[in-house]
Amino acid sequence: MAEPAEWRPAALNNGWTYCDRVRQREQSTRLSSVLAQRHRHSCAATWQQRLASGEITLNGLACPDDVEVKAGDWIRWARPPWVEAAVPDQWEVIHDDGDVLVVNKPSGLPVMPGGGFLAHTLTSLLEWRSRSEGEALVPKPIHRLGRFTSGLQVCARRPETRAALSKQFRPNGDCRKTYLALTERMESLQQGQTLVIQTDVVERQHPLLGWIWGPVPPTPEPVRKRLSAHSSVQLRERRETGDLLEVLIHTGRPHQIRIHLSQLGCPLLGDPLYQADQGLTATATPGDGGYQLHAWRLEGLRWPPTKQLSLHAQPPKLLGVQDGAGR
């Protein structure tokens, strides 16, 4: 079936060169083992094949053999072109003053390169459009929504503007960021109640990616890092299949809403990774979709510094909120 006109079809990119530097604890280890630990999508045997095919250099020199490495060595992998999945490449412009650009990002479009995406990202598409239209300055994101999170994505064309706005997006900054989330039934939450969540977001082990951000585990297990996180939840609408929530985040931690709702035992409906028992699905990754989460309102953003912006983005139909609705 052909992709809709508003989608960019799956296509080969131009490849990419990844650079890694060997750490002290990795010295006297085989090159393939270092790469397998850094890039867990491939095992050591696959990296040995890439060495033999000439894709990898060590300190700028061809390295077809699986040699031992030492701290400070530079490893470069010239990854051949690969097929990137189809993505939506149309979006609504919410605000554009010639410097700050705010768009309503569609679900399914990654913001920045990663997870198998390079050219099929909002960052790359903004650059392509700006160059094709002869613009000297390219809008670049100052924060990142998840691939399958839709809604308000703020970009800026000038480096000094990006630096100034980034400060406002830091934890406990002036911005008020409200999301709409379709979740499993939260019986403990009644209409008009506000539930405050302040559990940490922690880095936990995962078989596919090594370490990922998740909820505090229900039973003892290794935790590498902790980040304080603060969210507030209100029930907007109770449905047969679940609840529509408004979630205000006071901090902007990785996957914070998905993790906090999992911590409460009512994850996003269709979330393939974060489970109701604070567990993590071994076969899923943070970049997998299936859930409904929308960056709906942004208030308190000051730009220029003397002006306060109040922005909102029409959510997808499944979330069932009309433009301009709200308390």
* Domain definitions of the chain by residue range: 12-83, 87-169+294-319, 179-291
Looking at the predicted structure, is the pLDDT value of residue 5 above 60? no
pLDDT at 327: 43
Per-residue pLDDT averaged across 305-311, rounded? 92
Q: What is the pLDDT of residues 16-68, one digit of tens each?
A: 999 999 999 888 899 999 999 888 889 999 999 999 999 999 999 999 999 99
Check if the beta carbon of residue 67 is closer than 8 Å to that of residue 18: no
| pLDDT confidence of residue 188 | 84
Q: Are 125 and 112 in contact (CB under 8 A)?
A: no
What pLDDT shows up at residue 170? 86
pLDDT interval class at 173 (50, 70, 90): confident
Task: Write the CATH number of the domain with boundaries 179-291.
Answer: 3.30.2350.10
The mean per-residue pLDDT over the stretch 88-95 comes to: 96
CA distances from 269 to 105, 156, 177, 220, 261 (A): 20, 33, 21, 26, 10
Is the pLDDT score of 94 beyond 90?
Answer: yes
For the segment 216-239, the average pLDDT, to the nearest whole number, is 93
211-225: pLDDT as tens digits:
999 999 988 899 999
Query: Considering only CA atoms, which of 195, 263, 197, 201 is closest in space to residue 228?
Result: 201
Task: Compute the average pLDDT of residues 291-306.
Answer: 94
Same fold, 87-169+294-319 and 179-291: yes
Q: What is the DSSP letter of 30?
A: E
**Which run of H or of E encompasses 28?**
none
Which CATH code fits 12-83?
3.10.290.10
Cβ partners under 8 Å of residue 145, min gap 6: 105, 111, 151, 153, 295
CA 35 → CA 21, 52, 197, 285, distances in Å?
Answer: 10, 14, 38, 20
Distance in angstroms (rounded) separating the CA atoms of residues 47 and 53: 10
Does position 324 have pLDDT exceeding 50, yes or no?
Answer: no
Mean pLDDT of 104-123: 96
pLDDT confidence of residue 187:
86
Q: Report the DSSP pairing between strands 140-141 and 11-12.
A: unpaired
Determine the distance from the C-alpha atom of residue 296 to the mean position of all C-alpha atoms in its chain, rounded to a whole number. 17
| pLDDT over 60 at 13, yes or no | yes
In the chain, % helix, strand, coil (3-state, to 5) comes to: 15, 35, 50
Residue 315 predicted with pLDDT over 80: yes
Which has the closest alpha carbon to 180: 74, 261, 115?
Answer: 261
Q: What would the mean pLDDT of 127-141 be, rounded to a whole number?
A: 94
Q: What is the pTM (predicted TM-score) of this model? A: 0.89
Residue 258 has pLDDT above 90, yes or no: yes
The pLDDT of 269-276, averaged and rounded, is 96
In terms of Cα–Cα distance, which of 267, 259, 275, 249 is closest to 196? 249
The per-residue pLDDT for 321 is: 54
Q: What is the mean pLDDT of the chain?
A: 92
Other CB atoms within 10 A of residue 24 CB: 8
Q: What is the CATH code of the structural domain delimited by 87-169+294-319?
A: 3.30.2350.10
